[in-house]
Amino acid sequence: MTHILNPEPLTAENAALVLVDHQVGLITGVRDYSVAELKHNVVGLAKAAKALGLPIITTTTSADTLWGPAFPELTAALPDQDFIDRTTVNAWDDPRVEAAIRASGRKKLIFAGVSLEVCAAFPAMRAVREGFEAYVAVDASGTFNMTKRETGLMRLVQSGVVVADGASLMVEILADNAVPQAGHVYQSLDMDWANLVGQVRASAAVQGSGLLS
């Protein structure tokens, strides 16, 4: 019998975001997305997670000697964030990263990284082995050719990691479009129809005030 993985929903109380190695020296090698699209997706994911109040853990690898710093649009989106710089291939293998993840107190971990099949996949698979539930935001995780992308996605699924796009994960956490954070989340994700959501909310507020007058 095939086991179907269908975990309980993500919430603002049970989830954390882990962003791995979105660095200037790596992102320029990405081939499955344009650099601009990948940056857009990563920044949107980071901003939405921040708007939802999720713990965010960020890392780089050998920033001073190999791959450079995190790309500036991401550091601008998370101006107070501490990027843990390490040398281990698997981010989880650095004790500071593991400690930060465990200190979040969350059991559902959303990973994104460059590259998908290493930076995102390795710690996500380790998280599953450690008893966490792991998700990978695949559209915030670029890689260097289609073979790496296809085999990386297969390995994630084989390992019990949930794969999804980042916006869907954030909207699952949002859960209710009536909450105050909704506008900030949709604006962060910068979806084409985000402005429409704001207009609908504003129109409903006006109609509500008219009924009360």
Catalytically active residues, by annotation: 119
Q: What are phi and psi of 184, to 5 degrees?
A: -65, -40
C-alpha Rg value of the chain to the nearest Å: 18
Residue 121, C-beta contacts closer than 8 angstroms, at least 6 positions apart: 113, 136, 152, 155, 156, 159, 161
**String of DSSP letters for 8-54:** PPP-TTTEEEEEE--BHHHHTT--SS-HHHHHHHHHHHHHHHHHTT-
